[in-house]
Amino acid sequence: MKKIINAPEHYVDEMLEGIYTAHPDLVTYVADDLRCLVTANKKEGKVGIATGGGSGHLPLFLGYVGRGMLDGCCVGDVFQSPSSEQMLAVTKAIDSGAGVLYIYGNYNGDIFNFNMAAEMAEFEDGIRVETVLGADDVASGPLPAPGEKSIRRGVAGIFFVYKCAGAAADEMMNLDEVKRIAEKAAANVRTMGVALTPCIVPRVGHAGFAIGEDEMEIGMGIHGETGIRRGKLEPADQIVEEMLEKILGDFDGIDGSRVAVLVNGLGATTLDEQYIVTRKIDKVLKSRNITVKRYYVGEYATALEMAGVSISVLKLDEELERLLGGPAQTPFFHQGSVSSEGTVRMDAKKTAKASKKAAESRKGEDVNSLVGFLKKASEIMAEHRDYLIDLDSVVGDGDLGLTMSDGFAAAYKAVAGTGEADSGKLLYTAGKAMSIAVPSTMGTLMASGLMQAGKRLRGKTETGLAESVELFEGYAEGVMNLGKAKVGDKTFLDGMVPAVEALKAAKEAGKDLKAAAEDAKAAAEKGFEETTTMLAVHGRAATRGEASRSLKDPGAAVAMLIMDAFCQTV
């Protein structure tokens, strides 16, 4: 890794400090949290628009907060979702009585946490929240049938959704109208990218995948997700022709239409190259009698230092064309002249919480054996950090080892030394701490499992075999309810559910807890090994299709490690 940084763990917060230093007239933060970024100029009575996602994609997400576009944004660690608590803080800060619209990419971690934040905002403050997902990447799945959920990723084309919805809100349209505009823009934008090099997540320290010096990958995602074709690097004109064929072919009739085009550098592509691409795009579109009303060329949604480019096409009507042309002023995007009339100045010191909750004092010794289980789980996840990174790099973005080691460390820290005897309260507290520490897809799923297990064991202070069955059955239930997966889908459940069944069988056979735990560990290990026969149907691994069948599932490996920790502590 060769980056101009300090400590990798400070990468995101130090980047944010720099943004607040450079742009104090446009953005600030709330809740004493640098990652909860909001506009410095709140417009009273206007619909608030919020977004969010992982860091590492500047200027995507937080770069479009400002006048005429977005009002707030939460960012997580690199390529990881922000937490529901952070999203709630931003939602409350930007609401001015007209409701809030969430616009973000179609990624499970973001969906889980944004949905939780919307529920909390309505419950706690009566704030109405609506949601529009960006799902513009034509390489990541087919166009969904009417009424079906899209499996497509949200990539650079979400910029157009931000711009049109932001202009609609700035015109003081109500929440239903702003949502309608956002949905129209989202339905009419298509994107495809090509990558030439990998990127390096600072805390991982090495590339998430390898690609030859003379190779390119068409359709690769902005986290390094597998594309649709890898081959020898071709001339720019051939690359553009292939990408535009896929993009334009995805529209239901686009010849003769008006469009806007975004040519986006992925982080390490020169403007020279981007304009060479633009030149060819214009020739292809003119040959099909497609009129380009606006070109946007530059870095709009990056993937750290990945070399490559993406092309986004927005099909316009009169309404979208007018809104797209509206004025905006953000740290990374300027268009036209923006009025400050009706805005109220926001300030970090004034909008921060009046007081932080004091950390609970340590009340004594650990009296519940589940503290020891969580400690052992955190140790095992730390020991297997690189192993999980390697497994996940094949099917995902390679951050699972970090997520699990950080998540279980936070879970253990939240309960260690508290003297809490109630197993339910202990597990619920641990789960909530994990959800805040690692709000990625897997982190949120694991947190949901712990919290559901806590609900099952509420009021219990001992952990015998019966309670262990309740614990892990609840854990599986929490993951299943949130993730909507089932056994056989090649997920965490394929390791955990066999372990639960083994615990139940051991209980029926009259075995003691230690023998039952050993059976559960063996069942989880077997379930993990058997994932090599399964086809992935959830998450980024699903984009690999039949190629996913021979791979071991990283989530099932986490289940195996959890049961190992349990076996070592009973």
> Of 57, 223, 384, 538, which residue is the catalytic one?
223
State how far the Cα of 19 lies from the Cα of 413, in Å rounded to an integer: 31
Q: Distances from the Cα of 32 to the Cαs of 87, 223, 349, 350, in angstroms?
A: 13, 29, 8, 10
**491, 483 Cβ separation under 8 angstroms:** yes
Cis peptide before 82 (omega within 30 of 0): no
C-beta contacts of 72-77 below 8 A and 24+ residues apart: 72/36, 72/37, 72/38, 72/39, 72/48, 73/37, 73/38, 74/35, 74/36, 74/37, 74/50, 75/12, 75/16, 75/35, 75/37, 76/12, 76/35, 76/52, 76/439, 76/440, 77/12, 77/203
**223, 79 Cβ separation under 8 angstroms:** yes
- How buried is residue 216: exposed, middle or buried, by Cβ count under 10 Å (0-12/13-18/19+)? buried
Identify any residues that bridge with 101 across adjacent strands, giving them in sequence order.
Answer: 49, 130
Buried b / exposed e over 479-496, threshold 16 CB at 10 Å, is bbebbebebebbbbbbbb
Buried b / exposed e over 388-418, threshold 16 CB at 10 Å, is bbebbbbbbbbbbbbbbbbbbbbbbebbbeb
223 is catalytic: yes
- Active-site positions read 223
